[in-house]
């Protein structure tokens, strides 16, 4: 004999995961920001982009978890009977195998309502935390005939509405295909139906079903009203009996098809018969009913009414109603409402979205014109005040704010663009471009009136947040970006139930309320960001970083602090007022001595009496002879908009993307528009040993007719050897001159004479300019070199910080056999400027050692060390550092087989938290409910929504007969602990859980 095989219970199908329209737009945003980061090398932009990409990936796991374990029960009509033309509602019970999924996402149930060739989509949604409450499906305008409910589909949305996990439901895992009848619409104010004598007259003693007298008892049948049950008999015998009632036979309405012969058309006749049936039902009267092919004897009760309405519903062929043509939808198409109806947004979520947008706009207030900041604040304030106002409602009290016409918004946009063009000189640069973007986003917020617009604000705010990295990539900017991202994601999650792509019948169904409190939304957004952080960190470190941009656009305008391509008296002293960092230099070995820290920048060779400018001409290449030890160091330059790289001495290696001019300047084209790192190796050298004669002649020129006294003094040295002329020129500055940041203003004509024989107070450019003029007049080719001298040693980081106040100018003289020789006349006047620092030189010009830093200065140096580490490993992380990191890890390089294997393995580890979240079983927190949940898990047969433990034990016992007795015992113990007088004692709960663990599913 072969034992019967226990059938395997049906398991729910695997959900189909796909991005929503909002999720697709979110992905497009991530791709756009990634392209921008690749082109402009925005390291922090990479971090934000990968963080958003991680949120997009992790949200998929959240969507899967939202739908996992949800059970859908059979729909229950909220109103009976179903009548054509009247809204038809269904209550669909929802349950969960364990506790409901973490709130924040949403569940959406969709079903196709088919009547002939017409198909409508019914949809309803609820937050995941409220899934056990069930859903209401509404069919606004059914027509007469058979109504089929098919194509049931349950969808889970993540907390941001980026993904949907679609779960088709069959008869084993959900309601399946259901059919019911829709009766014709009852005729309004129908006349009374005709009457006839039933099967006898009251005076004859004949009886008929009624409500007057007791006729007898019969066995109880399912559906009998409880008021008709003989409870006294049941208490005495234990058997349920139902009382039957009757009344004297008399007149009853005769609802006959022939009685409606005078009406035009079959539908009008059916409507009158339906009205008569409903009237008899309301009075509780018995009636007879006849249709061609259907005859019902006189009777009363719901069974008689249901039979009559069913016959009316199925009679003939219902009139065809053309199905509306589906509207063509695009990715950005909004939900279209019926004419005359306008969508009203909830005030709370919309104002929170505006607040999040204001946080994203905040850094722009520090750099954009004041008038623009005021305009943006006014736009957001207007949108916040209008939030929640129903344009269709008659509002009493203060007058509602009027809507701004689209033409007025366009005019503001044009005027704002003109103002920005006047302020910045262009609309394409990073300053003007980001300011214009902020203006357009605020104007969009001012005219927001649909849920699509509200969601779009969050996406635009995220894009705007990424543009702040054009201006700064410091820790504060990173912190702001993180806070703004969390706020914008929380605002986006407030509209999770408002996904327009699923609202096919938005005209008929009321919009679902927005979900979530701002605090709850921020907590959920923070949770998503934490789950996305491992993947973001991995991609930040290993995603390929190209060394050059994809295309070139102007990304920086406006005045910037730093060296320029020309100088005149007073410009370097103005730079000395600024403590902004120019660059940082990190040496691999010992630091150079203070007098060796000359950072070479632009070379000025042309002089017109007022300004020194650079010489742009082609000359024959000259030789360079290097000597001495090699110094290796890395420069981290702050953006200046200029191409020079401020190298020490003469670089002997050329970093990628740079070259050296004939004036021995290290330059980069295009100029770095953001913080950049360059690795150099430098040596002392003799420059230009065989310099081009044409260049030497240029460096002998002085403006004609100017500075006669200085010219006469220098020409008197021509009889000396060139080296002696240099010493004679330096001797002029040994006495009578003082070093100051505030020298007197010099005249435009004969200013060298005015300085040497008048004020005798100056800064480095005064001394360098006067010395260069004297040397040229004396016949020694001389030029001015601009750059920086010195640098502050950071004891915590072991590097030099060179600030704008360290800007310096010195001279170079050309001597035969030696080439260009550096001569610094400022060191003659104030030796402390070269051997110590600027502050010491201003107070003690002859000092040789800098003053030790105070407590505040040491604190600032520690903060600067942290800033330098941030710049090195976060803001300045580029392709070179990535290759260095890979080399340390033993990986050959980007694109190699070890790299790809490591990337795949680490990506799996980074996604592990999200995958575990999606796979984690939802278990109730209540210990008794957890026991039943575990029992269903062990048997592979979960408890149905609304199913009692006793009913579940009976169903499971039928499925597994060998366990029937044990399952009944478990259910009885559960009921005793849950509902007994003694309550649920801990020992009993532990015993129940141990008993459940002993249950084994039969094989």
Q: What is the pLDDT of residues 137-196, one digit of tens each?
A: 888 888 898 888 888 888 889 999 999 999 888 776 678 788 888 999 999 888 888 765
Distance separating alpha carbons of residues 741 and 675, to the nearest angstrom = 29
Q: Which of 849, 329, 319 is nearest to 594 (CA)?
A: 849
**Cα–Cα distance measured from residue 642 to residue 644, given in angstroms and rounded to the nearest whole number:** 6
Higher pLDDT, 923 or 553: 923
| CA angle at 523 for the pair 926 and 365, rounded to the nearest 5° | 170
What gap in Å lies between CA 600 and CA 789, rounded to an integer? 9
Tokens 């002696």 appear where?
A: 724
Residue 946 has pLDDT above 80, yes or no: no
Q: How far is Cα 636 from Cα 638, in angstroms, rounded to an integer?
A: 7
CA atoms within a 13 Å half-sphere pointing along the CA-CB vector of 941? 22
pLDDT of 274 above 50: yes
Determine the Cα–Cα distance for residues 852 and 839; give it in Å rounded to an integer. 11
| Active-site residue, from 764, 837, 864, 934 | 764
Backbone angles phi, psi at 684, to 5 degrees: -65, 150
Write the secondary structure of 59-118 as one string of H (helix), E (strand) and C (coil): HHHHHHHHHCCEEECCCEECCCCCECCCCEEEEECEEECCCCCCECEEEEEEEEEEECCE
Structure tokens at 455: 């969601």
Query: Is pLDDT above 80 for 644?
Result: yes
Q: How far apart are CA 679 and CA 883, in angstroms?
A: 14
Are the beta carbons of 296 and 327 closer than 8 angstroms?
no
Q: How far apart are CA 773 and CA 781, in angstroms?
A: 10
Query: Does residue 638 contact residue 563 with C-beta atoms inside 8 Å?
Result: no
**Length of the chain measured in residues:** 1003
**pLDDT for residue 222:** 66
Which residues does residue 243 pair with via DSSP β-bridges, in sequence order?
A: 217
Q: β-strands 624-637, 581-587: how paired? A: antiparallel
Does 96 participate in catalysis according to the annotation?
Answer: no
Asked whether the beta carbons of 836 and 594 are under 8 A apart, the reply is yes
Sheet (strand 88-92) strand order: 76-77, 88-92, 135-139
Query: Given 158, 499, 649, 824, which residue is catalytic?
Result: 824
Lowest mean pLDDT among 209-213, 520-524, 727-731: 209-213
Backbone angles phi, psi at 364, to 5 degrees: -65, -25
Contact 99, 110 (CB under 8 A): no
Whose structure tokens read 């269904």? 90
Query: Quick one: average pLDDT of 860-865?
Result: 86
Confidence band of 623 (pLDDT split at 50, 70, 90): confident
Over the range 738-758, which residues count as b (16 or more CB within 10 Å of their CB) and which as e? ebbeebeebeeebbbbbbbee
pLDDT attached to residue 490: 94
412 upstream amide cis, omega within 30 of 0 = no
Confidence band, pLDDT 50/70/90 cuts, at residue 85: confident
Supply 398's token pair: 């203060």
Confidence (pTM)? 0.76
Please give the pLDDT value at position 344. Answer: 67
Q: Tell me the pLDDT tens digit for each residue of 575-594.
A: 778 888 999 999 998 899 99
Pick the more confident residue, 790 or 344: 790
Residue 835 has pLDDT above 90, yes or no: no
How far is Cα 767 from Cα 809, in angstroms, rounded to an integer? Answer: 9
How many Å apart are CA 84 and CA 185, to the nearest integer? Answer: 5
pLDDT computed for residue 331 by the predictor: 41
Mean per-residue pLDDT over the chain, rounded: 83
Average pLDDT of 960-980? 87
Comparing 248 with 276, which gets the higher pLDDT? 276
The residue ranges of DSSP E strands in 758-806, in sequence order, are 761-762, 782-789, 792-794, 799-803
Catalytic residue of the set 468, 766, 808, 933: 808
Distance CA 531, CA 541 (A): 17
- The question of whether 824 is a catalytic residue gets the answer yes
DSSP per residue, 546-557: -SS-SS------
- Stretch 382-411: mean pLDDT: 69
Average pLDDT on 545-569 reads 67
pLDDT at residue 245, as a whole number: 67
d(CA 73, CA 111): 13
Q: Could you confirm whether 517 is annotated as catalytic?
A: no
CB contact at 8 A, 622 and 691: yes
pLDDT of residue 512: 42
Q: Which of 27-41, 269-283, 480-494, 941-955 has the lowest mean pLDDT?
A: 941-955
Of 363, 365, 388, 389, whose CA–CA distance to 375 is shortest? 365
- Whether the per-residue pLDDT at 698 is higher than 90: the answer is yes
Please state the rounded mean pLDDT for residues 274-280.
Answer: 90
Task: Answer yes or no: are the C-beta atoms of 94 and 169 closer than 8 Å.
Answer: no
Residue 132 has pLDDT above 70, yes or no: no
The token pair at 432 is 């003007």
Q: Is 476 exposed, middle or buried (0-12, 13-18, 19+ CB in 10 A)?
A: exposed
Give 4's pLDDT tier (boundaries 50, 70, 90).
very low
pLDDT value at 825 more than 90: yes
The counts of H helices and E strands in the chain are 28, 35
Q: What is the pLDDT of residue 478?
A: 95
Q: Average pLDDT in the 627-643 region?
A: 87
Record the tokens describing residue 766, joined without a space.
Answer: 């005064």
The pLDDT-based confidence of 235 (bands split at 50, 70, 90) is low
Query: Which one is predicted more confidently, 531 or 205?
Result: 531
Please, is 649 exposed, middle or buried when counting C-beta atoms within 10 Å of its C-beta (0-12, 13-18, 19+)?
Answer: buried
Mean pLDDT of 938-949: 79
């Amino acid at each position: 004999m072969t034992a019967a095989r226990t059938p395997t219970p049906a398991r729910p199908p695997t959900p189909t995961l796909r991005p929503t329209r909002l999720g697709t737009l979110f992905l497009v945003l991530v791709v756009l920001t990634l392209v921008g980061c690749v082109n402009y090398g925005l390291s922090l932009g990479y971090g934000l982009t990968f963080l958003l990409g991680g949120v997009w990936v992790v949200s998929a796991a959240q969507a899967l978890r939202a739908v996992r374990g949800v059970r859908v029960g059979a729909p229950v009509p909220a109103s009976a009977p179903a009548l054509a033309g009247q809204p038809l509602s269904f209550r669909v019970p929802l349950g969960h195998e364990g506790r409901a999924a973490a709130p924040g996402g949403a569940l959406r149930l969709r079903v196709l309502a088919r009547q002939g060739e017409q198909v409508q989509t019914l949809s309803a949604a609820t937050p995941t935390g409220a899934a056990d409450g069930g859903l209401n499906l509404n069919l606004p305008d059914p027509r007469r005939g058979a109504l089929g409910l098919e194509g049931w589909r349950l969808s889970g949305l993540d907390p941001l509405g980026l993904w949907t996990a679609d779960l088709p439901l069959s008869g084993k895992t959900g309601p399946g295909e259901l059919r019911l009848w829709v009766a014709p619409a009852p005729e309004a104010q129908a006349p009374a139906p005709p009457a006839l004598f039933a099967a006898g007259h009251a005076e004859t003693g004949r009886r008929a079903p009624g409500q007057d007298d007791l006729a007898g008892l019969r066995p109880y049948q399912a559906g009998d009203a409880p008021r008709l049950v003989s409870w006294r008999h049941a208490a005495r015998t234990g058997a349920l009996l139902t009382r039957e009632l009757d009344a004297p036979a008399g007149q009853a309405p005769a609802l006959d098809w022939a009685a409606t012969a005078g009406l035009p058309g079959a539908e009008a006749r059916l409507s009158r018969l339906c009205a008569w049936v409903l009237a008899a039902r309301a009075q509780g009267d018995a009636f007879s009913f006849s249709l061609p092919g259907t005859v019902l004897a006189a009777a009363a009760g719901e069974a008689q009414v249901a039979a009559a309405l069913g016959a009316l519903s199925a009679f003939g062929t219902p009139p065809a109603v053309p199905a509306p043509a589906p509207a063509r939808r695009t990715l950005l198409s909004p939900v279209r409402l019926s004419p005359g109806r306008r969508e009203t947004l909830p005030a709370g979520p919309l104002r929170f979205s505006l607040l999040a947008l204001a946080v994203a706009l905040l850094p722009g207030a520090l750099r954009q014109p004041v008038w623009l900041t005021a305009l943006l604040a006014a736009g957001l304030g207007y949108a916040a005040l209008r939030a929640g106002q129903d344009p269709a409602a008659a509002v009493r009290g203060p007058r509602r704010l009027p809507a701004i016409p689209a033409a007025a918004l366009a005019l503001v946009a044009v005027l704002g663009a003109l103002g920005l063009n006047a302020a910045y000189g262009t609309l394409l640069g990073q300053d003007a471009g980001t300011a214009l973007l902020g203006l357009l986003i605020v104007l969009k917020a001012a005219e927001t009136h649909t849920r699509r617009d509200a969601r779009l604000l969050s996406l635009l705010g995220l894009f705007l947040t990424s543009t702040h990295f054009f201006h700064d990539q410091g820790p504060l900017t990173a912190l702001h970006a993180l806070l703004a991202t969390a706020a914008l994601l929380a605002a986006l999650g407030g509209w999770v139930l408002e996904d327009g792509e699923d609202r096919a019948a938005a005209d008929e169904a009321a919009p679902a309320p927005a979900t979530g409190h701002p605090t709850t939304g921020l907590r959920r957004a923070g949770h998503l960001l934490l789950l996305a952080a491992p993947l973001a960190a991995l991609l930040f470190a290993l995603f390929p970083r190209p060394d050059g941009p994809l295309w070139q656009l102007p990304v920086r305008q406006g005045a910037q602090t730093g060296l320029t391509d020309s100088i005149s008296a007073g410009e370097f002293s103005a730079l000395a007022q600024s403590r902004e960092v120019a660059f940082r230099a990190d040496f691999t070995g010992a630091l150079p001595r203070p007098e060796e820290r000359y950072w070479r920048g632009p070379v000025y060779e042309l002089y017109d009496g007022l300004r020194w400018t650079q010489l742009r001409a082609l000359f024959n290449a000259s030789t360079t002879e290097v000597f001495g030890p090699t110094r290796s160091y890395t420069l981290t330059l702050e953006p200046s908009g200029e191409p020079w790289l401020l190298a020490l001495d003469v670089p002997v290696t050329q970093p990628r993307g740079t070259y050296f001019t004939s004036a021995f300047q290290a330059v980069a084209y295009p100029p770095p528009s953001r913080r950049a790192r360059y690795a150099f190796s430098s040596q002392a050298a003799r420059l230009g040993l065989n310099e081009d004669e044409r260049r030497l002649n240029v460096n002998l020129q002085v403006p004609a007719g100017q500075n006669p006294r200085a010219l006469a003094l220098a020409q008197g040295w021509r009889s000396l050897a060139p080296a002696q002329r240099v010493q004679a020129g330096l001797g002029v500055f040994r006495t009578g001159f003082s070093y100051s940041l505030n020298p007197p203003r010099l005249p435009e004509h004969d200013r060298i004479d005015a300085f040497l024989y008048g004020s005798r107070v100056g800064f480095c450019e005064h001394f360098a300019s006067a010395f260069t003029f004297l040397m040229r007049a004396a016949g020694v080719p001389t030029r001015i070199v601009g750059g920086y001298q010195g640098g502050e040693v950071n004891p915590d980081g072991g590097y030099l910080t060179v600030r704008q106040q360290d800007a310096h100018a010195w001279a170079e003289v050309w001597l035969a056999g030696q080439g260009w020789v550096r001569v610094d006349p400022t060191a003659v006047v104030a030796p402390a400027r070269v051997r110590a620092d600027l502050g010491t030189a201003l107070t003690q010009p002859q000092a040789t050692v800098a003053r030790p830093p105070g407590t505040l200065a040491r604190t600032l140096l520690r903060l600067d060390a942290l800033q330098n580490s941030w710049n090195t490993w976060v803001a300045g992380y580029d392709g070179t550092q990535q290759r260095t990191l890979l080399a340390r890890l033993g990986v050959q390089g980007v694109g190699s087989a070890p790299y790809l294997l490591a990337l795949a393995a680490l990506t799996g580890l980074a996604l592990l938290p999200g995958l575990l979240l999606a796979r984690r079983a939802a278990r109730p927190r209540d210990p008794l409910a957890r026991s039943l949940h575990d029992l269903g898990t062990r048997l592979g047969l979960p408890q149905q929504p609304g199913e009692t433990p006793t009913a579940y034990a009976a169903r499971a016992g039928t499925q597994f007969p060998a366990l029937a007795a044990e399952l009944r015992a478990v259910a009885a113990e559960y009921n005793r602990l849950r509902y007994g007088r003694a309550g649920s004692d801990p020992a009993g709960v532990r015993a129940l859980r141990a008993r459940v663990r002993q249950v084994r599913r039969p094989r």
